C-alpha cells in the first residue's frame, strides 16, 4: 500500500471514530427526566446519606442524569402525620441535617422546576433544611416539608454533580 493511500485510510478511520464519539455523547440522557420507582429512589437517597422514615410513603420521583458524575433526583413522600411530628421523625432519622427553618412561598429556593415536577405546592405550614451547605449546591440534599394538622408532604431535591 502506498503511503498516501495509508494516510487517506487513517484519516477516514479517524474521522469515523470522531463522528461515533460525538454522536454517542450527543445522544446521551443528560438532562432527561426519567420517572423513578420507590425502591430505586430510596436506594439513591440512602446512598447519599438520607434516611426516609418508615411513616413516609413514596408518591413520585424523577431522575435527571448528568453527562458525568451523579444524577439529580426530585421526589415527593407523604405521611399521615401533622407537620411537627413529621419534622421530628425526619430530624431523628437524619441527625446530620440542620434543624428545619420556616420558609415562605417567595423564597428563591422554590423557583426550581424540580419542585413543581415532584408535585410541590405552597402551604401554610412549610419548613426547609439542606445538607451540606446551601440549597442548590452540588451534592446538596434539600428537604421541604408542607402540610397541616393531619398530613405532611416531604419534597426532596438531591443535586447531582
Question: pLDDT value at position 117?
Answer: 75
Q: Is the pLDDT assigned to residue 13 strictly greater than 60?
A: no
Distance CA 43, CA 71 (A): 13
SS3 9: helix
The structural domain count of the chain equals 2
Q: Which residues contact 122 (CB under 8 A, 6 or more apart)?
A: 105, 110, 146
Q: What is the 3-state secondary structure (H, E, C) of 53-99?
A: CCCCEEEEEEEECCCCCCCEEEEEEEECCCHHHHHHHHHHHCCCCCC
Specify whether 63 is located in the same domain as 24.
no
Ranges 20-24, 74-78, 80-84, 92-96: which has the least confidence: 20-24
For 20, the domain range is: 1-28
Specify whether 71 is located in the same domain as 128.
yes
Specify whether 64 is located in the same domain as 126.
yes
Specify whether 68 is located in the same domain as 142.
yes
Rg (CA), the chain: 22
Specify whether 75 is located in the same domain as 86.
yes
Specify whether 71 is located in the same domain as 82.
yes
Q: Give the pLDDT band (50/70/90) at residue 133.
A: low
Specify whether 19 is located in the same domain as 40.
no
Specify whether 80 is located in the same domain as 113.
yes
Specify whether 48 is located in the same domain as 97.
yes
- Which of 139, 160, 142 has its CA nearest to residue 63? 160
- Beta bridge partner(s), residue 57: 78
Amino acid at each position: 500500500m502506498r503511503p498516501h493511500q495509508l494516510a487517506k485510510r487513517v484519516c477516514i478511520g479517524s474521522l469515523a471514530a470522531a463522528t461515533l464519539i460525538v454522536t454517542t455523547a450527543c445522544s446521551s440522557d443528560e438532562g432527561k427526566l426519567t420517572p423513578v420507582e420507590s425502591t430505586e429512589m430510596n436506594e439513591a437517597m440512602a446512598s447519599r446519606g438520607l434516611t426516609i422514615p418508615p411513616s413516609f410513603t413514596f408518591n413520585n420521583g424523577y431522575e435527571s442524569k448528568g453527562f458525568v458524575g451523579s444524577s439529580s433526583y426530585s421526589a415527593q413522600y407523604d405521611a399521615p402525620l401533622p407537620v411537627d411530628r413529621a419534622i421530628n421523625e425526619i430530624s431523628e432519622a437524619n441527625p446530620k441535617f440542620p434543624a428545619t427553618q420556616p420558609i415562605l412561598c417567595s423564597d428563591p429556593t422554590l423557583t426550581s422546576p424540580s419542585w413543581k415536577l415532584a408535585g410541590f405546592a405552597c402551604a401554610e405550614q412549610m419548613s426547609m433544611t439542606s445538607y451540606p451547605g446551601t440549597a442548590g449546591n452540588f451534592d446538596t440534599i434539600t428537604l421541604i416539608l408542607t402540610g397541616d394538622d393531619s398530613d405532611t408532604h416531604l419534597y426532596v431535591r438531591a443535586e447531582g454533580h
